[in-house]
Amino acid sequence: MRKAEFINAVVEKTGLSKKDVQAVINAALEVITEALKKGDSVSFIGFGSFTTRRRAQRKAKVPGSKKVVVVPATRVVKFKVGKKLKEAVAKGA
């Protein structure tokens, strides 16, 4: 499901206008992004939580050659699935 399809699904469930739903979803994504950029975590009980982790510098081989490059250290986003979401997906399978 892409973002546009997600917005349409929320419009159908809520009865709100597409413009309002799009504004709320965009604002929510911005707030999550800003919190993660600051190093904060974002948790939705039962759904899951977004956190950031530090990935250390490492060496990696370039596929198809013997060249080794250094991949710099960076921060990455991690998502931990909540219990209710995990159970709902397992039952739906």
Residues 16, 25: Cα–Cα separation, whole Å: 12
**Could you tell me the residue ranges of all domains in the chain?**
3-92
The b-or-e profile of 26-40 (16+ CB within 10 A means b, else e) is: eeeeeeeeeebeeee
* pLDDT, tens digit (0-9, with 9 covering 90-100), for 36-88: 999 999 999 999 999 999 999 999 999 988 899 999 999 999 999 999 999 99
Question: How many CB atoms lie under 10 A from the CB of residue 53?
Answer: 9
**pLDDT over 70 at 93, yes or no:** no
| Sequence-distant (≥ 6) Cβ neighbours of residue 47 within 8 angstroms | 82, 84, 85
CATH homologous superfamily, domain 3-92:
IHF-like DNA-binding proteins (4.10.520.10)
* pLDDT, tens digit (0-9, with 9 covering 90-100), for 42-55: 999 999 999 999 99
* pTM, to two decimals: 0.81
Nearest to 39 by CA among 80, 81, 72, 77: 77
